[in-house]
A and B are shown apart, each in its own frame.
Chain A
């Protein structure tokens, strides 16, 4: 059995004013093997973040189930850690304080907190900045802290919700390469939500393409590009083919968006 098994998953929201129910995610089936790097890509409103948050145990399911290592997800757990979009660091804590935060919340018992935190801070390349506060760091550095905080608790599954979404293209590319370097060390199962096609291909073993109304899986694409990868892969033939395929998917979504006038 795969490490993560999602069966017939549905998540409904009630719109606050009209009390109308709408489906953010519906009929999602997905299996993820241990150690896989899976990216979830789709245009905005396709429910990709909702799906990730459901795996994190932060969203209530309306239908279906999510099992991780055979255990049903009913809430947040020690087996998972989330890297959020941005600004999810505690502004009054230093880099080290923030990395320790997850450990403190989990009542970490695996040795000295400070040492563990420093180890992770060095891993993401911020050794010299451990006493800095978030407002003193660049966006890219803050996301490194975010990643360090998640890795510190030693999760089996790493869930990332558009972690580089707010970064400029240059920094984004660097962070992608960095993330792979860190991931190669432990090969933890990783889920990574993005709307950036290149990012989705570059990182993935498997790309989950999602569509809208309601959010559903359109296609799961295997990526057979060799690892370890660097920027050179971006110019390779298979990469171009994958990019074309994903573009077609997203373009389809965009045109259907214009037909169905969305009420936000």
Chain B
């Protein structure tokens, strides 16, 4: 019975065990004097500090500021990425015209544009949103593009045989067929947008998780800094999981369960 349960959930159980193992090792290594707590703090201290920061409203304020930028940047990247991706996937001329920019985006680190955005938008929220937007844009654009471009030719032909106009083929065949790939792009985009927000906050902000990390980092208050790092990790996991869930909802028709 327990063995069966173990096999069914093997990956989850092993993953959880290794996480707990790491936390225990971390705590013991510091308590036993193997590592100086200055460098890494301890799980118990981080937890205590988390409760304290939660109580005095810091956690709420930082998470709120980060999520605000995240939602804006992800929202913009979703709209722009999907619209451009659809145009480029459908019209090969648009794809060719956009290609160089995508190359730039792939080869140059987006953070390199940071000073430019500061010059245009100043320190703070607008610049953070702009950087995170650029972080998230590429996978959303690229996935939408490939989804539309790789429209099943047989399906498109079948539609045309019934007199479908190009717009019908786009709306009824290309678009619904691309939804799962687009969702995968959004899932990647969510991770990138969060990274973008936090990275931009590290450089210049007056609130947010990234800001808290640099702030306490410069003060060498490792425990306080670790609280925000852990929250960033959890936030990333939760947001990505939500998107994975939505993704699995939209491509149920791709599962070949009945064959």
Q: Using Cβ atoms and an 8 Å threshold, which residues of chain A touch B152?
A: 87
Residues 208-259 of B at the A interface (beta carbon under 8 Å): 253-259
Binary interface encoding of chain A residues 152-164 relative to chain B, with 1 for a CB under 8 A from any of its CBs, else 0: 0100000000000
- Check A84/B154 contact, CB under 8 A, given A90-B173, A91-B253, A136-B258: yes
Among A57, A82, A136, which residue has its beta carbon within 8 angstroms of that of B158?
A: A82
Residues 142-160 of B at the A interface (beta carbon under 8 Å): 152, 154-155, 157-160
Verify B253–A105 contact, CB threshold 8 A: no
Residue of A78, A80, A102, A134 ringed by the most chain B CB atoms within 10 A? A102
Verify A105–B258 contact, CB threshold 8 A: no
Chain B interface mostly helix, strand, loop or mixed? helix
Q: Using Cβ atoms and an 8 Å threshold, which residues of chain A touch B158?
A: 82, 84, 88
Q: Using Cβ atoms and an 8 Å threshold, which residues of chain B touch A102?
A: 162
- Check A105/B177 contact, CB under 8 A, given A84-B154, A135-B253, A137-B258: no
The chain B residue with its CB closest to the CB of A141 is B258
- Check A135/B161 contact, CB under 8 A, given A90-B155, A92-B176: no
Q: Using Cβ atoms and an 8 Å threshold, which residues of chain B touch A56?
A: 161
| Distance in angstroms between the alpha carbons of A58 and B254 in the assembled complex | 28
| Distance in angstroms between the alpha carbons of A58 and B172 in the assembled complex | 19
Residue B17, interface by CB 8 Å = no
| Distance in angstroms between the alpha carbons of A81 and B162 in the assembled complex | 7
Verify B160–A58 contact, CB threshold 8 A: yes
Verify A135–B257 contact, CB threshold 8 A: yes
Q: Using Cβ atoms and an 8 Å threshold, which residues of chain A touch B172?
A: 90, 101, 104-105
Among B154, B160, B177, B253, which residue has its beta carbon within 8 angstroms of that of A76?
A: B160
Verify A82–B255 contact, CB threshold 8 A: no
Interface size class of B (residues with CB under 8 A): 20 to 34
Q: Using Cβ atoms and an 8 Å threshold, which residues of chain B touch A81?
A: 161-162
Residues 80-122 of A at the B interface (beta carbon under 8 Å): 80-82, 84, 87-88, 90-92, 101-102, 104-106
Shortest distance from the beta carbon of B174 to any chain A beta carbon, whole Å: 11
Residue of B162, B164, B256, B258 ringed by the most chain A CB atoms within 10 A? B162
| Distance in angstroms between the alpha carbons of A143 and B254 in the assembled complex | 18
Q: How many residues from A make CB contacts under 8 Å with B?
A: 26
Residue B99, interface by CB 8 Å = no
Residue B163, interface by CB 8 Å = yes
Q: Using Cβ atoms and an 8 Å threshold, which residues of chain B touch A91?
A: 177, 253-254
Q: Using Cβ atoms and an 8 Å threshold, which residues of chain A touch B161?
A: 56-58, 76, 80-82, 84
Verify B259–A105 contact, CB threshold 8 A: no
Residues 45-83 of A at the B interface (beta carbon under 8 Å): 56-58, 76-78, 80-82
Among A77, A133, A135, A136, which residue has its beta carbon within 8 angstroms of that of B163?
A: A77
Verify B162–A153 contact, CB threshold 8 A: yes
Q: Using Cβ atoms and an 8 Å threshold, which residues of chain A touch B159?
A: 101, 105
Q: Using Cβ atoms and an 8 Å threshold, which residues of chain B touch A153?
A: 162
- Check A135/B154 contact, CB under 8 A, given A78-B163, A81-B162: no
| Distance in angstroms between the alpha carbons of A171 and B19 in the assembled complex | 53
- Check A58/B157 contact, CB under 8 A, given A135-B255, A135-B257: yes
List 13 interface pairs A-B (beta carbons < 8 Å), by A numbering: A76-B161, A76-B162, A84-B154, A84-B157, A84-B158, A87-B152, A88-B157, A90-B155, A91-B253, A92-B177, A101-B162, A134-B253, A153-B162
B-contacting residues of A (Cβ < 8 Å)?
56-58, 76-78, 80-82, 84, 87-88, 90-92, 101-102, 104-106, 133-137, 153
A-contacting residues of B (Cβ < 8 Å)?
152, 154-155, 157-164, 168, 172-173, 176-177, 179, 253-259
